[in-house]
Amino acid sequence: MRSDLLTADGLTKRYGRFTAIEDVSFTLRAGEVLGLVGESGSGKSTTVRCLVGLTKPDAGTVSYDGEPLQGRAAWHRFRREAQMVFQDPYASLNPRMTVAEIVGEGLRVHGIERTAAGRRARVTTLLGQVGLDAGDLDRYPRSFSGGQRQRIAIARAIAVEPRVLICDEPVSALDVSVQAQVVNVLRDMGRELGLSILFIAHDLAVVRYLCDRLVVLDQGRIAEQGTREQIYDNPQAPYTRSLLAAVPIPDPAAERERRHRQKESAR
Amino acid sequence: MTAMTLPRIALPRIPLLDRLAIPAAALFLLIALVGPWLAPHDPYQVDLSQALQAPGPGHWLGTDAAGRDILSRLLAGARTTVLSSIVVVVFAAVVGIVVAALAAIGGRWADEILMRVCDIFLSIPGMILALGIAAALGPSLRSTIIALVVALWPPFARLVRAVLRETMASTYVESARVMGVPARRLMARHVLPNSLDSLYVQAALDVSGVIVLMSGLSFLGVGAQPPSADWGAMVADGREFVTTAWWVATVPGIAITLTAVVFGLFGDALRSKLDPTLGDA
């Protein structure tokens, strides 16, 4: 049995009379890839923001490695050991810092590489790992495409050798043609570094490819959670079924067949 | 959101004006720096036989009641007026940025207290506040500068706070926070560098307003003291001769207006260059 690494317990967040999430509880276990899925507005982003401390939940707690995230010491450790990749790579990189500064910042603030030369060498290696090259070190984010920027963001996240990687829809802002490349970089890095990954998405095809287990969110509540096989082969909640039904099948004949069946059963 | 206490000169947006504004502001700044050496006469030389000469050869812009050459006094006074206005804006901006940064990283209480202090200052009209402080400190150029800094930092702090809050909500600042970047570094490396563009614009626009305020204070007698050449004081000197020797008050008055307009246009030009949301229109 894998040990629990990051646990959300009863997270609730309201904005005025609107309840963004209510009683959301789940656990990311060491070494697994956990998918958090749901359509837009289902509370995925609020959950992540509460999880990493960007938003204060109205109720509920977050625990990391068995300890509740309270106090400076716990947060300090969490800030180093849990890293995040954001959805929009056009917004998540400081436009006035070079790639070397962006990727090296974690190494600097966490005292991992104290010399500029040491950081540069590390950043060069990291860029190589995500498929960029040393020539990109002194360029600014504006000279990169979306896919390249997301690779920079991944390099930044793995620079400090985290144990947990939280990916908030990391490919949904990218062109379909580069989505697969970035997903593969994430999967390879995860395996190579033994990361536990929380992968937030609304694209169920990507989730199926990457994730060991799934949590399905519907209107701020957990509709269902289970292993990939359980969810995909035998969805229990009606919401999960409708989500799965919305995934296109990449075979026109099979897709037509399925639509026909759905129409029949709706009658 | 921002309470503007400064007079603004609003002109229609013409691309040509934008293009002219930057070299024009540079020219005025140059005159302010080297003005005293360009003066054809000694600006302080009293010569009563030459009193109240109309503009013409010898004295291009005429002479005042003490027979001093107005062009020379104008050039000498450019330094006090323009450079002190820039000094005022720089100091007000620094105080405003520091207060706003403290409010932004200090949490809700620091923010509440600092902004309420701002509100107290803002509740008093800037000109009256500056006049009171300058008079209380004793009339001199230095007290005018201090008075204007005291009167001008609050609107600046308000503006900067709004800009900083906007930048702090951006994803790259959030991602730095999630990574554990400490508050001081977050401010210095992420928030401030990405907020400065709108501050430059505000500062440039403020220079224009401060020139007018500063001249106003001198005109009322709390600014630079005689015999030093100061545009506001020169207008005040010429008041009694307006009907008989119009140039004594009018020439420095035109200089004040022209300089304020040029720096105002410079601010607008800077804004259309730096603010991507305004586009090229």
User: What are the residue boundaries of the structural domains of chain A, listed by start?
Assistant: 4-266
Is the pLDDT reported for residue B12 higher than 70?
no
pLDDT digits (tens, 9 = 90+) for B57-97: 878 888 888 889 989 999 988 888 889 999 999 999 999 99
ipTM over 0.90: no
Q: Does B40 touch chain A (CB under 8 A)?
A: no
Q: Does B178 touch chain A (CB under 8 A)?
A: yes
- Widest Cα–Cα separation across chain B: 77
Which residues in A lie closer than 8 A to residue B185 (C-beta atoms)? 109
Distance between CA atoms of B269 and B271, rounded to whole angstroms? 5
- CB–CB contact B179 A109 (8 Å): yes
Residue B278 pLDDT:
54
The proportion of chain B whose per-residue pLDDT surpasses 90, expressed as a percent, equals 46
pLDDT digits (tens, 9 = 90+) for B142-160: 999 999 999 999 999 999 9
Phi–psi pair at B176, nearest 5 degrees: -65, -35
Residue B1 pLDDT:
40
Domains: count for chain B: 1
Per residue, what are the HEC states of A46-94? HHHHHHHCCCCCCEEEEEECCEECCHHHHHHHHHHHEEEECCCCCCCCC
Chain A nearest CA to B170, separation (Å): 7
Q: What is the mean pLDDT of chain A?
A: 91
Task: Please report the sign of the dihedral spanned by the C-alpha atoms of residue A106, residue A111, residue A113, residue A117.
Answer: positive
First to last CA, chain B: 25
Residue B275 pLDDT:
63
Per residue, what are the HEC states of chain B? CCCCCCCCCCCCCCHHHHHHHHHHHHHHHHHHHHHHHHCCCCCCCCCHHHCCCCCCCCCCCCECCCCCEHHHHHHHHHHHHHHHHHHHHHHHHHHHHHHHHHHHHCHHHHHHHHHHHHHHHHCCCHHHHHHHHHHHHCCCHHHHHHHHHHHHHHHHHHHHHHHHHHHHCCHHHHHHHHHCCCHHHHHHHHHCCCCHHHHHHHHHHHHHHHHHHHHHHHHCCCCCCCCCCCHHHHHHHHHHHCCCCCHHHHHHHHHHHHHHHHHHHHHHHHHHHHCHHHCCC
Q: Does A106 touch chain B (CB under 8 A)?
A: yes
Residue B81 pLDDT:
86
Cα torsion A210, A211, A215, A220 to 10°: value is: -20
Average confidence (pLDDT) over B209-216: 92
Residue B164 pLDDT:
92
DSSP A98: -
Is the pLDDT reported for residue B161 higher than 60?
yes
- CB–CB contact A109 B177 (8 Å): no
- CB–CB contact A105 B176 (8 Å): yes
Which residues in A lie closer than 8 A to residue B193 (C-beta atoms)? 96
- For residue B128, being part of any structural domain is answered with yes
Q: Which residue of B has its CA nearest to A83?
A: B179
Q: Which residue has the higher pLDDT, A244 or B192?
A: B192
pLDDT category at B44 given cuts 50, 70, 90 is confident
Report the CATH number at residue B32.
1.10.3720.10
Is the pLDDT reported for residue B11 higher than 60?
no
Distance between CA atoms of B250 and B244, rounded to whole angstroms? 12
Q: Does A158 touch chain B (CB under 8 A)?
A: no
Chain B nearest CA to A265, separation (Å): 45
- CB–CB contact A53 B178 (8 Å): yes
Residue B2 pLDDT:
44
Is the pLDDT reported for residue A146 higher than 50?
yes
Which residues in A lie closer than 8 A to residue B276 (C-beta atoms)? none
Which domain covers residue B231, as residue numbers? Answer: 15-37+52-278
- Residue among B178, B182, B194 whose CB faces A54 most closely: B178
With a CB-CB cutoff of 8 Å, which residues 64-93 of chain A face chain B? Answer: 76, 79-80, 83-84, 86, 88, 91-93
Is the pLDDT reported for residue A41 higher than 70?
yes
Average confidence (pLDDT) over A128-132: 91
- Residue among A53, A92, A96 whose CB faces B175 most closely: A92
pLDDT digits (tens, 9 = 90+) for B106-134: 888 999 999 999 999 999 988 899 999 99
The answer to whether B6 and B206 have CB atoms below 8 angstroms apart is yes
Residue B9 pLDDT:
58
Q: Is A156 helix (H, G, I), strand (E, B) or coil?
A: helix
Length of chain B counted residue by residue? 281
Q: Does B170 touch chain A (CB under 8 A)?
A: yes
Distance between CA atoms of A255 and A249, rounded to whole angstroms? 5
Q: Which of B172, B191, B197 best probes binding to A when mutated, by most A CB atoms within 10 angstroms? A: B172
Residue A199 pLDDT:
95
- For residue B30, being part of any structural domain is answered with yes
- For residue B2, being part of any structural domain is answered with no
pLDDT digits (tens, 9 = 90+) for A78-101: 999 999 999 999 999 999 999 999
Residue A255 pLDDT:
79
- For residue B189, being part of any structural domain is answered with yes
- CB–CB contact B194 A160 (8 Å): no
A4-266 domain in CATH 1.10.1470.10? no
- Residue among A54, A95, A109 whose CB faces B180 most closely: A109
Which residues in A lie closer than 8 A to residue B174 (C-beta atoms)? 54, 86
Which residues in B lie closer than 8 A to residue A76 (C-beta atoms)? 180
Distance between CA atoms of B190 and A93, rounded to whole angstroms? 10
Chain A nearest CA to B189, separation (Å): 8
Average confidence (pLDDT) over A163-181: 91
Q: Does B181 touch chain A (CB under 8 A)?
A: yes
Residue B4 pLDDT:
46
Average confidence (pLDDT) over A221-248: 86
Is the pLDDT reported for residue B232 higher than 50?
yes
pLDDT category at A263 given cuts 50, 70, 90 is confident
- Residue among A53, A96, A105 whose CB faces B193 most closely: A96
Residue A99 pLDDT:
95
Which residues in A lie closer than 8 A to residue B175 (C-beta atoms)? 84, 86, 92-93, 153, 156
